[in-house]
Each structure stands twice: as structure tokens, then as C-alpha cells.
Amino acid sequence: MAASPQHLLRNTACMISILISIFGLHQVFALKSPFHPQDVLPLLPRQVSWPILNSLHGAVDLLPEFVGAAWPSNDSLEWKGACFYNNTAWMEFHNKSSSEFGGGTLHLKVSNAHSWTCMDIYVFATPYRVTWDYYFLSREHTIDFKEWEGKAEYEYVKNRGVSIFLMKAGMLGTLQALWDVYPLFTNTGWGENSNLDFLKKHMGASFEERPQPWVTNISVDDIHSGDFLAISKIRGRWGGFETLEKWVSGAYAGHTAVCLKDSDGKLWVGESGHENEEGEDIIAVLPWDEWWDFELNKDNSNPHIALLPLHPDIRAKFNETAAWEYARSMVGQPYGYHNMIFSWIDTISGNYPPPLDAHVVASVMTVWNQIQPAYAASMWNEALNKRLGTKGLSLAEILVEVEKRGSSFDQLLTIPEQDDWIYSDGKSASCVAFVLQMYKEAGLFDPIASSIQVTEFTIKDAYMLNFFENNSSRLPKWCNDGDTVKLPYCQIKGKYRMELPGYNTMQPYPHMSETCPSLPPEYSRPSNC
């Protein structure tokens, strides 16, 4: 029987202890081990070290852990690191630059390392800058901020401090995590398997293989306006992005579209996220044949697709004219980047898989704001301004304004998106918001439509709505044809059986999905959240 990674690690530790004893080093190193088994893993044979590394670290270890903030009026911050177990930090202001607001020095004292060869990596952030450093020696270290970026940064650091984040996996673990996250976005078999493994590990997904054929011979006569398309991409750029989206939201699909029939009976597909000839992701309404041909022959993300037919009673309510009017009004609009992340974040702490939190989100935004300011403005700045009732504030100014109002950034993120908000480039609708806004226009949320903000719904929230067929005898004859497991919906493409936990179980209610937690792996959802 092959040894487990944990067994190999224990054996390695035993071997190291024996070597210390043999060479008479046990007295020298009585207080501190010269090295930790994890520190020497790269020196071991790959067949030994790699399984251990994989068991200890994963892609999520790329996320820094917020340990606290240091500012002049606060007592020393204390925490336990990954390498150094006793750490303190404090902040002092100075004016070495002789500027109006001066600068400051962040002091960090690290001690009590668990071995002589480990190190801790830290990221330091304010709304105006992000920097990093690593520590190998037990002593006091400093990070010098020669000059604050004007009064705003000075006031922010004075009142809120410099945020400190620990890369908890250390240097080795961070490199291993990078190795784990990189393949998620590669368009290879390695990438596909990495996405499947990630979702199995962090969400408990099963990915059972279906019997062939993996593509259904569909009769479009059996597809109707309003029928929902749930799509799961598992390789390439979109596969990696969807994997992370699924993990944080609890959805078992990463993309959606909707079916529409015109007055001549021709079938169309409405989709937010269609890539045009310029490489832009836009909202489009495409003939079914064109859309289906792309998914079968040109989409290299290996999409798995399920058709979710509407219940006959719901279909009878579906106002096809209103649905088409809405769809045509949105054609050509950009994908809903403005509000994409806000459907996921509903609570102060119940939507962030550890070690992710609002501090990490703010730091990631700060980094992107420095690298691609136009992209950052599109992704979140406009939406954050709307939540504050302001216009044109940069991310740094937004963070400062929040503090002035006695609120916090994590509270700002939880303010519900409003369907009627107009952004600089028009209404913003992600893939699922586009489908559900069409449902809203078509009357499916009546009589409570005015109290429903569909831009707050995740894909999971959408397929949990009890809008869909619940009688398997009414599903099309070709539905799940050849599969030994009869799903309550029609999987029409894909090697692996699609899971949609909670499918078709939830009656809409006012302010639905505005305050729902989503922590893996259970993704427990309180009633009426």
C-alpha cells in the first residue's frame, strides 16, 4: 500500500531526528530545531516531496490572511505567524521628507521561529499603496513610508493604520499554491483536472462520468421561451474564473443563458457574456443553431450544459413580448462587470471563505487600481460610488469617505445592488442578472417584483427558484436520453453529470438573496435571507 503524505512526513521527521542524534547535535539544537520537515521538502525526491506539498497547501493559500492594522494611537499589534510565533507591530509618524504631512515607519519585531530555515512573507497596504517584505531573522524590522500621499492617506493611517497581511503558507507554500492555481486557467487536460480537483476538494462536488453520448440530439420544438440554460466551464481562462466563482458563491454552474422564441417559432438564445469580434464580452441574442454550434465545436472550455425547462404554470405567466423588448434593449451592452462581485457579497463576514475577508478584497482592489485603473473603475469604483451616493471618487477616496461617515468598507460591500442603477455605459447585467431581469420584465416575479433586486442573485439563487418543471414525465423524451440517472432537468452536453444542489426548491420572497451567507463547504442559507 502506498504511504500517505502524512505518513511520509512523519517518517521524514523521524529521519531528521535520528540524524541529529547521530551527529551529536541534539544539545546544540535543544531549544530550536535546525530545520522543519516542511522546509527541506524540496531537497527530497520529487515522488516523496510532491504528495506532501499537495496535502499541505493548495490554491487558496495564495490568499493572504489579515492579522490586523498598526497605527500610531494604537497599542502594539500582536499575532502568531506561520514561521515566527511571536510577532508585534507598531507605527510611528515622522517627517524625514520635510513635507506637509510627513511619512511614517512601521516597526515589526519577529521572534520564536519554529525552525532556523523558515520565513514569513507579509503584504502591507493602505488605500494608496501596497508593498511586501519577508523575514528570515528574529529581530526588529522596519517598513519606511517616506511620504504620505497627501492629507487623505495621512488621516487614513492616523485613524485606521496600515493593514498587515500574512502569507500563511510561507515561501514554499506560496510557491506551491501558485503552482496549484496556475493550471486552473490553462486550456489543457492538466488544467481541466485541476479545476475538477479544486471543486471536489473545496465544494464536495462529485463529477460522476455519464454514459456516452455526451451530447444530446435535441428537438428545438420542445424548447420554449424562458427555458433556462445552466453552463459549467471546466478548463481554460473561463474555466479557472468559474471555478473560483463557484467556490465563493456555492453555485455548481458558472454561466447562464436563456431561450427565446420569436413570432415565427424560431429559437434564439439570450446571453450576457458573448464574446464579439473585438474580443469584448457583451450581451447578445443569437440564433439557437449558431449558439449551439459554437458550444459544440468552438468553445474550448469544455462546457457542460443543462436545460432547465420552465414549469407549465410559470410558462403561462411568461410575457414573451415584454421579454423580447427587454432583450432587444440590452443587446450590445457590455457584460455586467460593474456589479458582478456584489451578488456574492451580502454579509460582513459570512461570504468570505477563509482566509479571504473584506480587508483582502480592499487590498486586491488597491493593487488593481494601481495596475489597471480603468479596469478597476469599471469593476467596482462606480458601484461603490453608487452605494455612497457619490460620483467619481477613486477607490482610495471611497475608503477614506467610508471612514469619515463612521462606517466600514465591509459594510459598504453589503449594500444591495439596485436593478435600476444606470452606469456610465448603461444598465449593468451579469449573465444571471440578465436572465432574471428578463424573468422580472416577463412577470415571473409578480406581484413582488418591486421588492426583488435580481442583480443580488447568484447563479445558485437562480436555479433554486421554484420556476422549473417538477414532473419528470413532462420533460422532453430526449431529456437525459441514455443516462442511467434521470436528473430533474435536461443535461444536453458534458462528460460529467451536472449537480445543482437545491434545484427548484425556493419560492421567491421580498428582498430575496440580499443578506445570504455562502461559506463552503455546506453553503448553509438561512430562511428569508
The pLDDT tens digits for 322-360 are 999 999 999 999 888 888 888 889 999 899 887 777 877
| Three-state SS sequence of 424-489 | CCEECECHHHHHHHHHHHCCCCCCCHHHCCHHHCCHHHHHHECCECCCHHHCCCCCCCCCCCCCCC
Give pLDDT, residue 53.
40
Cell (9 digits) for 179: 503552482
Tell me the per-residue pLDDT of 101-112, one tens digit each, with 9 for 90 and over: 999 999 999 999
Task: Fill in the DSSP letter of residue 511.
Answer: T
Give residue 26's identity as a one-letter amino acid code: H
Instruction: Give the chain's domains with CATH numbers.
Output: 55-170 (no CATH), 203-341+425-493 (3.90.1720), 358-415 (no CATH)
What is this structure's pTM? Answer: 0.74
Cα separation, 465 vs 444, whole angstroms: 11
pLDDT, tens digit (0-9, with 9 covering 90-100), for 259-283: 999 999 999 999 999 888 877 889 9
- Contact of 102 with 147, CB cutoff 8 Å: yes
b/e 114-148 (16+ beta carbons within 10 angstroms → b): bbebbbbbbbbbbbbbbeeeebbeeeebebebebb
pLDDT tens string, the chain, 529 residues long: the values are: 333 334 433 443 343 333 333 333 333 333 333 334 444 434 444 444 334 444 434 444 556 778 888 888 767 899 998 888 999 999 999 988 888 899 999 999 999 988 777 888 888 888 788 788 888 888 999 999 999 988 888 888 888 889 888 877 655 555 555 556 667 878 889 889 999 998 998 899 999 999 999 999 999 999 999 999 999 999 988 888 899 899 989 999 999 999 999 999 999 999 999 888 877 889 999 999 999 999 999 998 999 999 999 999 999 999 999 999 999 999 999 888 888 888 889 999 899 887 777 877 877 777 666 656 676 777 788 999 999 999 989 888 888 899 889 898 889 999 999 999 999 888 989 999 999 999 999 999 999 999 999 999 999 999 999 999 999 999 999 998 888 898 999 999 999 999 999 999 999 999 999 999 999 889 999 988 9
Residue 411 CA to chain centroid, in angstroms?
18
